[in-house]
Structure 1
Amino acid sequence: MAIQLCVVFTLVAASIHDCDGVLRFASYYRDHMVLQKSPERAVVWGYGPEGEQVKFTLSGQNLQSISQATVTNGIWRVSLDPVEAGGPYNVTAGVQNSTAVLTDVLFGDVWLCGGQSNMFLNLYQIFNASEELKRAAHYPHVRTFMASLVQSETEQTDFIHVQIPWSVPPAYLAGFSAVCWLFGRDLYEKLQYPIGLVESCWGGTTVEAWSSPRALQQCGLLQQPDDGPKVNSVSWNAMIHPLLNMTIKGAIWYQGEDNTIYHQEMYNCSFPAMIDDWRMAFHQGSGGQTALDFPFGFVQGMWENFRRDLYIFFTCPEIINTTKA
């Protein structure tokens, strides 16, 4: 069986680091990863020598496809035709005298897990951790990736650092988000095809840190908090923006505690604005492959002095395809 590859040359405009002409995949792409299955097209990109033709091959499961992409501004990028759930596949990018290879690649649904401390709580910290870690070996098709806790004042195209590269459980799972893992495991039990889980969250962060400047501007939120991961857009810049060029199925979110003491009165504007902006940005960054209304599930505490603004958000009919737990 053969599929065609559609070559796309544009990336989300942002600062690009490490464009040194060495052929390689972007930092998100590693062995054991999950790429988004059909009907969406998975996007794969990386770096290479300027002007060179990169030969790109996807092989496995009685499938082999070959295509080429031109390195422009230090970047090459391909968009696959839809691939059904399954694997494993090998993904190879090559130029003259240089080859980069990804092995054990699966196709399934890719979910982003974001927010603050309750999403960041790792599996080792839950009450039945040893039992869950033991069970994890029975889920080799649920793969995990974790972004590092990094801030940036400017939007990054690639991750500055990766905390946990794509892994097969139970490897590195003790330090992975418990909520994210349990969500993905249960999803796999229902769907019975590969699930990719991307953890990008940070304890003690506000919604403003995860929002782009354009989303904050919609709500008139220009005032900066004083320190660290609470500063406007720093987590968006370093921990979300690098994912925009990839295709995802959806996102889950657990945040809100820190906004009980910071811009609480604006949360009914800032949170919907963030969701809308993420959807638009992921859709555009993936060349239209991530759905413009991708599923966005969230969990938040209902403290007495926070209920009104959350209630207003929960009952907003225009925020479509969201689910509250």
Structure 2
Amino acid sequence: MNKLLSIKQIAIIAGAYLLCSCPVKADIRMPRIFGDHMVLQQDSQLSIWGWADPGEKVVVTLAGKKGKAVAGQDGKWKVSLKPIKTKSKGQTLTIKGNNKIIYEDVLVGDVWVASGQSNMEWGINKNHYKKDVDASADSLLRLFFVPRNTSLDPLSDIYMPEDTQNPEWAAKWVLCTPEALRKINGQGFASAAYYFARDIRQTNGRPLGIIQSAWGGTRAEAWTSLSALKAEPKLKRYVDLYEKNVRINPEVVANYKQRKAEFDVAIKKWNNTVGKEWDEAQKEWAIEVKKAQAAGLPIPEKPKPSSPRPSDPPKPNGGNNGPTNLFNAMINPLIPLSIKGVIWYQGEFNSGGSGKEYATLFPCMINDWRQKWGIGDFPFIYVQLPNFGPVDQKPSEEGQGWRWVREGQLKALALPNTAMAVTIDVGDPFDLHPIDKYDVGHRLALAARKLAYGEKIIASGPLYQSMTIEGDKAIIHFSNCGSGLTIASSPYTPKGEKPKNSEKLTGFCIAGEDRKFVWADAVIDGDQVIVSSPKVLKPVAVRYGFSNSPVCNLYNKELFPASPFRTDNWEK
């Protein structure tokens, strides 16, 4: 009863949730993911589904293929069409029952879902990459933007809340154009996803559809279904939090709309005054930090705003970080659309006290999506978090959550059909949203070309394999060495800075039985790195780049960076 009441409560605010999850009986109605200019997955059984009157006969035709279905008592129907080869020329998709729905200019190629938080949501920096935006028109690359939304229960269709940005672009397929890259979601279609798609398009020439379903500042448990969270005992606290959100106070629901409007006014005022001053102070602080580090001086204290940011009003269903809420509203409506795979960039918001938990939560989410989609272990390719924050002065500093999330991402490679784009070298220590999304998208595309398209290429950097001890030296063995190990630097150089070149390996630290890490000397020897320190005569463990903002320069000769790692399993 509480669960049903919660949906009614949400409907007071959302206004139409029930229409999404329980369509009114009528003529044929299709989910919003279908539309003119869409891309359907080639060489795969195609699921076409929707709603109609119970017992209504439905016929679907596309590119010479035909399928039939009869709507059940709940009004739902689904047709499975036999696989169709690539179609670069627009096709007509027809759904006929008591009425007829026709979609024009439908292509058949590859469909990828791009999901995660802000770095998968953030648009292209229009000044920095202006030439790329201006040259982005591609009639065979189609974009679909899933508007932000939350729900305590799985929705069967995409819903557009009242405050959806750019509703003329949302929940519809559009051709990739400079205008689309600049306007969708108010800041442009996802930059990392665009560069990924552009590289794939240039490589195989097939039509490509990108479905962007991302939301900044969100946690992985919000993108995971309730059934998956319930199945993992280590994640029980999220199930408990979900139950708490279901039992939300009716007063919160009744007052939310007014409080949200008041908050919007207050936050706009704060952003234009305190927030603007604080932004400038942080920029000045970043300059002072770089000066201090160059001179070997202590890092100055980070500035704080002169007054606190206005507090968000309590959200009636746990908001965008309520467990399961984003899966229910922004992923479930896409299922069972046939897809090629998923690209994912998230983890920053799980780097707090739950950083270590990511090693359990992230694989749980991946397995969950695959199970719900029911099309096998489709490729799941993700970004390992970059460097962020002032350069770490101490080896393997304690209490830093990003290192634990990166480790969880590294461990997820144990799942079948996964790949990881290492970006430890292209972050911005002072910007949570680093400008360089070209290298992120490029590395995702290379990983996809190898994993999903079977190209025989080197697509990633060295990965820790094992360690042996010889006297006072630790010998680290790597896989994915490509043509061999080397010292290199980031392919991206911020404006106004010089490329960082070094003749010495950095980022390695070593510890003995006392478990106290010290900076180490590291030397490349073939496909191995020999690590030592005169302070540690009997080494036990080695770590590389295992902190928030490390300086790392180990690559393979194909210039892919090595992933941060540790050889120990210590708690700190």
Pick the TM interval, shorter chain: 0.7 to 0.9
Match of 1:44?
48
Is the CA contact 1:120–1:201 (under 8 Å) kept in the aligned structure 2?
A: yes
Instruction: Pick from 337, 340, 351 the counterpart of residue 249 of structure 1.
Output: 340
Q: Out of 218-227 and 259-268, give the one that drifted further.
A: 218-227
Match of 1:128?
128
Is the CA contact 1:145–1:197 (under 8 Å) kept in the aligned structure 2?
A: yes
Q: Out of 247-256 and 75-84, give the one that drifted further.
A: 75-84
Q: Residue type matched to 1:168 in 2?
A: L
Counterparts of 1:28-177 in structure 2, within 5 Å, are: 28-38=33-43, 40-59=44-63, 64-72=64-72, 73-86=74-87, 87-96=89-98, 98-123=99-124, 125-137=125-137, 139-161=138-160, 163-170=170-177, 172-174=180-182, 175=184, 176-177=189-190
Structure 1 residue 262: deviation in Å?
4.7
What is the CA deviation profile of residues 187-223 of structure 1, one whole-angstrom value per residue up to 9, with x for unaligned ones? 1111111111000000000111101123323132424
1:276 aligns with 2:278: no
Q: CA RMSD in A?
A: 2.1
Match of 1:22?
27
What is the CA deviation profile of residues 151-198 of structure 1, one whole-angstrom value per residue up to 9, with x for unaligned ones? 001011211238241111215332211111111111111111111100
Structure 1 residue 130: deviation in Å?
3.3
The structure with more strand, counted as a fraction of residues: 1
Structure 1 residue 132: deviation in Å?
2.5
Match of 2:322?
231
- TM-score, normalised relative to structure 1: 0.85
Match of 2:200?
187
- TM-score, normalised relative to structure 2: 0.49
Match of 1:264?
355
Change (3 A) 1:164 1:55: closer
Structure 2, unmatched stretches of 5+, are 1-19, 161-166, 243-313, 388-396, 422-572
Match of 1:201?
214
Structure 1, unmatched stretches of 5+, are 1-14, 284-289
Q: Distance in 2 between matches of 1:183 and 1:302?
A: 17
Q: When the two structures are aligned, how many residues end up with a matched partner?
A: 296
Q: Distance in 1 between matches of 2:405 and 2:190?
A: 27
Matched position secondary structure for 2:414: coil
Is the CA contact 2:356–2:408 (under 8 Å) kept in the aligned structure 1?
A: no
Q: Residue type matched to 1:265 in 2?
A: K
Q: Distance in 1 between matches of 2:413 and 2:381?
A: 15
Change (3 A) 1:18 1:194: same
What is the CA deviation profile of residues 235-268 of structure 1, one whole-angstrom value per residue up to 9, with x for unaligned ones? 0100011112111110000001111125222111
Match of 2:191?
178
Change (3 A) 1:322 1:100: same
Match of 1:321?
417
Matched position secondary structure for 1:25: coil
Matched position secondary structure for 1:246: coil
Is the CA contact 1:16–1:156 (under 8 Å) kept in the aligned structure 2?
A: yes
Change (3 A) 1:77 1:316: closer
Q: Distance in 1 between matches of 2:381 and 2:127?
A: 24
Instruction: Pick from 297, 310, 322 the counterpart of residue 381 of structure 2.
Output: 297
Larger radius of gyration: 2
Q: Where does structure 1 differ by over 4 angstroms across 4 or more consecutive aligned residues?
A: none
Change (3 A) 1:301 1:29: same
Percent of aligned positions with the same letter in both sequences? 32
Matched position secondary structure for 2:79: strand
Q: Distance in 1 between matches of 2:210 and 2:114?
A: 7
Q: Residue type matched to 2:57 in 1?
A: Q
Matched position secondary structure for 2:172: strand
Structure 1 residue 134: deviation in Å?
1.9
Q: Distance in 2 between matches of 1:198 and 1:102?
A: 18
Q: Distance in 2 between matches of 1:150 and 1:55?
A: 32
Matched position secondary structure for 1:251: strand
Q: Distance in 1 between matches of 2:27 and 2:222?
A: 33
Q: Out of 214-223 and 184-193, give the one that drifted further.
A: 214-223
Q: Residue type matched to 1:135 in 2?
A: A
Change (3 A) 1:20 1:113: same
Is the CA contact 2:92–2:102 (under 8 Å) kept in the aligned structure 1?
A: yes
Matched position secondary structure for 1:265: coil
Structure 1 residue 313: deviation in Å?
4.2
Is the CA contact 1:215–1:270 (under 8 Å) kept in the aligned structure 2?
A: no
Which structure has more relative contact order (CA 8 Å, sep 6+)? It is 1
Q: Residue type matched to 2:69 in 1?
A: A
What is the CA deviation profile of residues 274-319 of structure 1, one whole-angstrom value per residue up to 9, with x for unaligned ones? 1111111112xxxxxx3x2111111132566232453254145631
Match of 1:220?
235
Q: Distance in 1 between matches of 2:408 and 2:351?
A: 15
Q: Distance in 2 between matches of 1:165 and 1:262?
A: 38
